[in-house]
Amino acid sequence: MLFFRHKKDIIEIEKLKNKIDSDKLPVHIAIIMDGNGRWAKKRRLPRNIGHKEGAEAIRNVVLFANEIGIKHLTVYAFSTENWNRPKDEVDGLMKLLTEFLDKFNKEFGDKNIRIRHIGEPSALSPEIQEKIRTVQEKTRGNTGLSFNVALNYGGRLEIVQAVKKIIKEVNNGKIREEDIDENLISQYTFTKDIPDPDLIIRTSGECRLSNFMLWQSAYSEYLFDQVLWPDFKEEHLIEAISEFQNRKRRYGGI
């Protein structure tokens, strides 16, 4: 794990850091963590073993992102569509999530990392909802990396809920129809106080968003990496950031 580095590992990490411009880091990186199942299948292991290894990859990436100065990191942990997976797989994912939340303060407590949930909490078990509330409250004042976990998250659901809330506010006279613009709509999303992602990474070679951050990704840069998520290391993140820094963001301009 990243926080038990040998001297050789520390030297290699420092070399990696030199590949990027620390003054031009993306403020917000979002990751669609894909390939856990295929990673396990290649090794003739149960899918949940792949998810367990994927959880280890999350820990390392979170710590490294915080170390190099990334302000926001969002991971697509569980979509609104993932409930359609086999029950034993869903149960295994929820167990991993529970363990992750229980260990968060122990493993990240001295790293000044804040954890936040984005998504619809009502479908989650009362136990998980309470654990999320507890860890969010304990880390609320931290000023390092904001680690955003997209759990029971769907981009279309997010937009539908935002529209319903705005309609309700209009009907109550709190919002005028002419006041509705992009900025106002953004204030009714799950990410209302989180900047839009500069860079979205998807692993495993798939080239689609899969209902992730549809509103927020209008001008994000995309990077599709062939590596399966459990094999995603610090060097892959550095390569993605380096690629991002070599691109010219035009926002519709020339």
CATH code of 109's domain: 3.40.1180.10
Residue 108 lies in a domain: yes
Tell me whether residue 82 is one of the annotated catalytic residues. Answer: yes
Residue 228 lies in a domain: yes
Residue 126 lies in a domain: yes
Cβ atoms of 236 and 227 within 8 Å: the answer is yes
pLDDT, tens digit (0-9, with 9 covering 90-100), for 55-73: 999 999 999 999 999 999 9
How many domains does the chain fold into?
1
Residue 149 lies in a domain: yes
Residue 188 lies in a domain: no
Give the tokens for residue 201. Answer: 């990474």
Q: What is the pLDDT along the chain (254 residues), one digit of tens a residue?
A: 344 444 556 667 777 788 899 999 999 999 999 999 999 999 999 999 999 999 999 999 999 999 999 999 999 999 999 999 999 999 999 999 999 999 998 889 899 999 999 999 999 999 999 999 999 999 999 999 999 999 999 999 999 999 999 999 999 999 999 999 999 999 999 999 999 999 999 999 999 999 999 999 999 999 999 999 999 999 999 999 999 999 988 887 66
Nearest to 116 by CA among 147, 85, 94, 142: 147
Residue type, 116: R
Residue 179 lies in a domain: no
Q: How far apart are CA 68 and CA 252, in angstroms?
A: 30
Residue 240 lies in a domain: yes
Residue 205: domain span: 26-154+196-245
- CA distances, 13 to each of 9, 24, 36, 182 (Å): 6, 19, 25, 40
Q: Which of 21, 23, 34, 193 is catalytic?
A: 34
Q: Which of 9, 48, 82, 105 is catalytic?
A: 82
